[in-house]
Chain A
Amino acid sequence: MNVLVAVKRVIDYNVKVRVKADQTGVETANVKMSMNPFDEIGVEEAIRLREAGKAEEIVAVSLGPQQCQETIRTALAMGADRGIHVKTDEELQPLAVAKLLKAVIEEERPGLVILGKQAIDDDSNQTGQMVAALLGWPQATFASKLDIGDESARITREVDGGLDTVDVRVPCVMTTDLRLNEPRYASLPNIMKAKKKPIAEKTPEEMGVDITPRLKTVQVIEPPGREAGIKVESVAELVDKLHKEAGVI
């Protein structure tokens, strides 16, 4: 089977994000961008499936501006076989991404589609579930273990109470949680090889998908800060403060 992995270009998780002065969004000029960490886990899982003889071709898909091609190249350098870039400079919200991915998936017919559980920029945690819904496929969200066959997959999910295991019909959509695997770094030879791997380009217009944002962002502000408190010198002083001053114990 083939595996399709969605890879989103986001502000690197180490960057201290700043809100724009005009309150329309966050500062992205001259900010380090990377692949969403959950998507790295998705690419890694796909490569491991191929290494285990369970997957053939791995296609990495990214949606957004021209620079998304860098994110796709990163996936190709890790080991994906080819890329698809759905190019647009418009704002893309999860429902629009899901519709575009659905169109790509119907063309590519993979047995498994992997997305991250959450993009660390919008923190929506929606897209994978929406893709599954639009396709009428099962979804296994927040996956920490995957065992896939031709007909069905057994997936362990990280949930609030611990771990849940589900069996889902294949083809299916899976979203990754942090402990599914630890992604590899691309080796230098693989980075070189990735430069020759193909990336197909599409646009939402060609695909006939309406991507008009549904949620209107009224404003984006910085959250109220917390004032740093005091340092205490001893455990006794700490307990005293918590007991008498803060009254929380």
Chain B
Amino acid sequence: MAVLVVAEHDNAELKEATFNTVTAATEIGGDVHILVAGTGCRSVADAAAGVAGVSKVLFADDAAYEHHLAEIMAPLLVSLTGNYDAILAPADTFGKDFMPRAAALLDVAQISDIQEVVSSDTFVRPVYAGNALATVRSEDATKFITVRTTAFAAAEASGGRAVVEEIAAAENPGISTYVGSDVSRNERPELTSARVIVSGGRGMQSGDNFYLIENVADKLGAAVGASRAAVDAGFVPNDYQVGQTGKIVAPELYVAVGISGAIQHLAGMKDSKVIVAINKDEEAPIFQVADFGLVADLFDVLPELEKELEKIGL
């Protein structure tokens, strides 16, 4: 029995999500292999070979794989399926794009966004924005699974000594091409793997006011997130959105500022270890999940918070 993890990477480095997905694969059991498909990314394949618990790296080096377009990734996965009991990828915009395409080509039902491995064929996944947990069983010969990365610890990046096997590229159907990216770059940790997140909502009133959040985030070494309302209003870019239809996060500390706590937002952050809510409305639903709530005006609180953090040496 063997399980294949599709590595998420940018042709330079493995993304954190890959390590969590390896852990889910390990829980399913059997040999764990990693597929690195990309271009000029030998260093990524080598890094994958070092991940603890991995016994083989399949390395497909071809210009076609540079941007992981689903139309090109799916045939590659299809060509490898026969050797695997399960194929896993992170349930983020990387994995969500090509995994169902490959599954459908093989007449397999994908199991999306698993948060627990019950056995090699049975998994728990959230439905209805996390208001229910469904346990589902699959009888497909090769299971296609996307993994809620916040639910699995990261595998150790070192300690593994896997062999790297080069594999041929699969056919490129030539029906889609990558044009470009508008990447919102900042020096902060990535939302999905940050230890601390400070998020702002509609209560921030404007993008200009987000510096108040950023100042606090700087002190905490935190990532900055947002509610959908803040993203829709154009305060911050789309990739800041936390929630049912944005990013799923589970940091040690999540600070929600001027966010009411709609079910769709909670779906993305309620597994955080400690939740702090700052809101001037004491009835706001966010307080129902907050460990520490502060009913106050955020425009008073944020500058004060910055000072108090300084006092404890941050």
Interface residues of A in 81-109 (CB under 8 A from B): 93-95, 98
A236 within 8 A of B: yes
A241 within 8 A of B: yes
Residues A218 and B136 in contact in the complex (CB < 8 Å), given A121-B128, A178-B245, A229-B290: yes
Contacts of A214 in B (CB 8 A): 108-109, 138-140
* Prevailing SS type, chain B contact patch: mixed
Tell me the bound Cα distance from A165 to B48 in angstroms.
Answer: 28
Tell me the bound Cα distance from A13 to B104 in angstroms.
Answer: 28
Contact assessment for B101 and A132 in the assembled complex, using a CB-CB cutoff below 8 Å: yes
Tell me the bound Cα distance from A117 to B92 in angstroms.
Answer: 12
* Per-position binary interface string of chain A over residues 98-132, scored 1 when its CB falls under 8 Å from any chain B CB and 0 otherwise: 10000000000000000001101111111101111
Count of inter-chain pairs, beta carbons less than 8 A: 261
Contacts of A218 in B (CB 8 A): 122, 135-137
Contact assessment for A125 and B96 in the assembled complex, using a CB-CB cutoff below 8 Å: yes
Q: B127 contacts which of A123, A167, A234, A235 (Cβ < 8 Å)?
A: A123
B212 within 8 A of A: no
Rounded to whole Å, the gap between the CB of A74 and the closest CB of chain B is 20
* Per-position binary interface string of chain B over residues 275-305, scored 1 when its CB falls under 8 Å from any chain A CB and 0 otherwise: 1100000100001111111111000010011
Whose C-beta in chain B lies nearest to the C-beta of A248?
B253
Rounded to whole Å, the gap between the CB of A222 and the closest CB of chain B is 7
Tell me the bound Cα distance from A229 to B254 in angstroms.
Answer: 14
Interface residues of B in 106-140 (CB under 8 A from A): 107-113, 122, 126-140
A230 within 8 A of B: yes
Rounded to whole Å, the gap between the CB of A70 and the closest CB of chain B is 20
Contact assessment for A138 and B175 in the assembled complex, using a CB-CB cutoff below 8 Å: yes
Contact assessment for A117 and B245 in the assembled complex, using a CB-CB cutoff below 8 Å: yes
Rounded to whole Å, the gap between the CB of A212 and the closest CB of chain B is 10
Contact assessment for A164 and B175 in the assembled complex, using a CB-CB cutoff below 8 Å: no
Contact assessment for B126 and A133 in the assembled complex, using a CB-CB cutoff below 8 Å: no
Rounded to whole Å, the gap between the CB of B216 and the closest CB of chain A is 11
A163 within 8 A of B: yes
Contact assessment for A123 and B176 in the assembled complex, using a CB-CB cutoff below 8 Å: no
Interface residues of A in 161-191 (CB under 8 A from B): 161-169, 177-179
Contacts of A226 in B (CB 8 A): 270, 275, 288-289
B178 within 8 A of A: yes
Contacts of A192 in B (CB 8 A): none
Rounded to whole Å, the gap between the CB of A196 and the closest CB of chain B is 35
Tell me the bound Cα distance from A123 to B91 in angstroms.
Answer: 11
Residues A120 and B288 in contact in the complex (CB < 8 Å), given A163-B238, A167-B179, A226-B270: no
Interface residues of A in 1-60 (CB under 8 A from B): 11, 13, 16-17, 19, 26, 38
Tell me the bound Cα distance from A214 to B103 in angstroms.
Answer: 12
Contact assessment for A162 and B304 in the assembled complex, using a CB-CB cutoff below 8 Å: no
* Per-position binary interface string of chain A over residues 190-234, scored 1 when its CB falls under 8 Å from any chain B CB and 0 otherwise: 000000000000000000000000111111111100101111101
Q: Considering only CB atoms and an 8 Å cut-off, how many residues of chain B contact the other chain?
A: 92
Tell me the bound Cα distance from A82 to B115 in angstroms.
Answer: 40
Contact assessment for B245 and A118 in the assembled complex, using a CB-CB cutoff below 8 Å: yes
Residues A215 and B138 in contact in the complex (CB < 8 Å), given A125-B112, A138-B175, A229-B292: yes
Q: B220 contacts which of A117, A235, A249 (Cβ < 8 Å)?
A: A249
Rounded to whole Å, the gap between the CB of B297 and the closest CB of chain A is 11
Contact assessment for B132 and A136 in the assembled complex, using a CB-CB cutoff below 8 Å: no
Contact assessment for B253 and A235 in the assembled complex, using a CB-CB cutoff below 8 Å: no
B1 within 8 A of A: no
Contact assessment for B274 and A248 in the assembled complex, using a CB-CB cutoff below 8 Å: yes
Rounded to whole Å, the gap between the CB of B126 and the closest CB of chain A is 7
Tell me the bound Cα distance from A129 to B282 in angstroms.
Answer: 43
Contact assessment for B113 and A123 in the assembled complex, using a CB-CB cutoff below 8 Å: yes
Contact assessment for A216 and B137 in the assembled complex, using a CB-CB cutoff below 8 Å: yes
* Per-position binary interface string of chain A over residues 133-162, scored 1 when its CB falls under 8 Å from any chain B CB and 0 otherwise: 110111111101000000000100111111
Please report B residues at the A interface, Cβ cutoff 8 Å.
67, 69-71, 74, 92-94, 96-105, 107-113, 122, 126-140, 173, 175-184, 192, 196, 220, 228, 231-232, 237-239, 244-245, 247, 252-253, 263-264, 270, 273-276, 282, 287-296, 301, 304-305, 308-309, 311-312, 314
Known: A139-B70, A161-B183, A164-B182. 5 other contacts (CB 8 A): A162-B183, A165-B178, A168-B177, A178-B228, A214-B109
Instruction: Jot down 11 A-B pairs with beta carbons below 8 A, ordered by A.
Output: A139-B70, A160-B92, A166-B177, A179-B231, A216-B139, A217-B136, A226-B288, A229-B290, A235-B294, A235-B296, A249-B253
Top 7 closest A-B pairs, CB basis? A214-B109, A229-B291, A130-B104, A129-B100, A126-B100, A133-B104, A165-B179
